Amino acid sequence: MTSPPTAAAPAAKSPAFRHELYPYQGEAAFLEGATSFVEDAMRADETVLVAVGSDKQAILRDALGTNPADRQVTFVDTAALGRNPGRLIPAWQEWIAKAVSDGQPVRGISESPWTTATAAERSELRYHEWLLNLTFADSPAWWLLCPYDTSTVEAAVLESARRCHPFQLAEGVHGDNSAFAEGPFLFDELEAPCDPQESLSYGAGALGAVRDKVTACATRHGLTGPRLSELLVAATEVAANSVRHGGGWGTLRTWVEGDVLICQFHDTGHIADPLVGRSRPKPHQLGGRGLWLVQQLCDLVQIRSTAEQGTTVRLITALA
For the chain, give every residue range classified as CATH 3.30.565.10.
198-318
Specify the pTM.
0.89
For domain 198-318, the CATH superfamily is Histidine kinase-like ATPase, C-terminal domain (3.30.565.10)
CB of 9 closer than 8 Å to CB of 162:
no
Q: Who's near 92: CB < 8 A, 6+ residues apart?
A: 108, 110, 132, 135, 144
Q: Who's near 72: CB < 8 A, 6+ residues apart?
A: 41, 42, 45, 46, 47, 48, 104
pLDDT at 15: 54
Concatenated DSSP letters of 209-243: HHHHHHHHHHHHTT--HHHHHHHHHHHHHHHHHHH
pLDDT at 119: 93
Which parts of the chain fold into alpha helices (H)? 27-43, 54-64, 88-101, 119-135, 155-164, 207-220, 225-245, 290-297
CATH of domain 10-176: 3.40.50.300
For the chain, give every residue range classified as CATH 3.40.50.300.
10-176
- Run means of pLDDT, 10 residues per run, the chain, 320 residues: 41 69 97 95 90 91 71 78 87 85 84 92 95 91 96 94 96 95 89 89 96 96 97 97 94 96 97 92 79 96 96 96
Measure the CA–CA gap between 157 and 61, rounded to whole angstroms.
27
